[in-house]
Amino acid sequence: MSKTIIVTGGTDGIGKATVKALVAQGAAVTIVARNKAKADALAAELKHETPNAAVRFVQCDLFSRRAIDAAGAEILATHPRIDVLVNNAGGFFAKRDLTEDGVERTFALNHLAYAQLTALLLDRLKASGPARIVSVASGVHATGTLDFDDLMGARRYAGWNAYCNSKLANVCWTYALARRLEGTNVTANTLHPGFVASRFGHNNGGVTGLVMGLAQRFGAISEPEGAKTSVHLAASPEVEGVSGRYFTACKEVRSSSASRDEATQEKLWSVTEALLREAA
Ligand SMILES: NC(=O)c1ccc[n+]([C@@H]2O[C@H](COP(=O)([O-])OP(=O)(O)OC[C@H]3O[C@@H](n4cnc5c(N)ncnc54)[C@H](OP(=O)(O)O)[C@@H]3O)[C@@H](O)[C@H]2O)c1
């Protein structure tokens, strides 16, 4: 039976390449993203390449808690089983801004959205086991810090720092999640995809967007290359049962020492749970 895989941010970049690779392996893939026109174009492209490609789309602006709740409900109503959730959608925002929920955008999209969607789908994943949760972090987590007095950069905001902090949150949160999943048939792993020539950072325009574009043009790997570790963790039999690990280039590596601090992981877990409860 083909695997049912949910991929957030599957309309562009690494997520799009992940969707393509998983569909090519015969998986039924549901893209959770905000841009219907891009999703429709991708579905048409995939169906042209593989006439029986099973691709679905759930529209969701992952900045919005209300939209994530609605998308979670739609997925549960239409997906009797979920084998894999790939939390991939993320971004870098040079300028600080808040979502409609009053949450700083980087923290909302890169961390809280991962946690909220995972919580909504967790029972279905458990019921479908063996199942996997794959969360795309970044090597720059190593330069991040988690300042629990100012997680949303209200006192001091620098876009790149906020991004690195959110990626540290991905790694810490995955380790805390994996601990909670011990004894179940669901695994949770996280990864660095490599430096990838995607549209990452282009939303910023101006000098930031230009510098980002240039760096990607000359120093980055392709999107399909960048999707390989996500695809490996989502679908390879090699990592069946492996949980609570950090990968790059399809290999397990050690994440930063800050990310391996259990007290930090647990604090982030409880702060995240409290923020999600507050919003419910
Ligand atoms: N590129 C790199 O070098 C690199 C390195 C390390 C880690 N990463 C991580 O890899 C992941 C994917 O990044 P990428 O490079 O593929 O970036 P990308 O090319 O900018 O693609 C991001 C994807 O996320 C979607 N997205 C953004 N904001 C959204 C929102 N509010 N609601 C719903 N979907 C939203 C985008 O949708 P639209 O199509 O609507 O814009 C797009 O599909 C991120 O978690 C990033 O932190 C990237």
Domain span holding position 256:
4-279
Domain count, the chain: 1
- Does the C-beta of 68 come closer than 6 Å to ligand 1? no
Residue 157's pLDDT is what? Answer: 97
Predicted local confidence at residue 207, as pLDDT: 79
Q: Does the pLDDT of residue 1 top 70, yes or no?
A: no
- Catalytic positions, please? 163
Three-state secondary structure readout of the chain: CCCEEEEECCCCHHHHHHHHHHHHCCCEEEEEECCHHHHHHHHHHHHHHCCCCCEEEEECCCCCHHHHHHHHHHHHHHCCCCCEEEECCCCCCCCCCECCCCCEHHHHHHHHHHHHHHHHHHHHHHHHCCEEEEEECCHHHHHCCCCCCCCCCCCCCCHHHHHHHHHHHHHHHHHHHHHHCCCCCEEEEEEECCCECCCCCHHHCHHHHHHHHHHHHHHCECHHHHCHHHHHHHHCHHHCCCCCCEEECCEEECCCCHHHCHHHHHHHHHHHHHHHHHHC
Distance 80 CA to ligand 1 centre (A): 27
Q: What percent of the chain has pLDDT over 90?
A: 89
Look at residue 234 and tell me whether its pLDDT is greater than 90.
yes
Q: How far apart are the CA of 110 and the centre of ligand 1, in A? A: 9
- Best probe residue, ligand 1, of 164, 200, 225, 246 (max atoms within 8 Å of C-beta): 200
Would the pLDDT of 217 be above 90? no
Q: What is the pLDDT of residues 69-106, one digit of tens each?
A: 999 999 999 999 999 999 999 999 999 999 999 999 99
Which of 12-16, 26-30, 156-160, 216-220 bottoms out in mean pLDDT, i.e. has the lowest? 216-220
Q: 255-279: per-residue pLDDT in tens?
A: 999 999 999 999 999 999 999 998 7
Could you tell me the CATH number of the domain that includes residue 186? 3.40.50.720
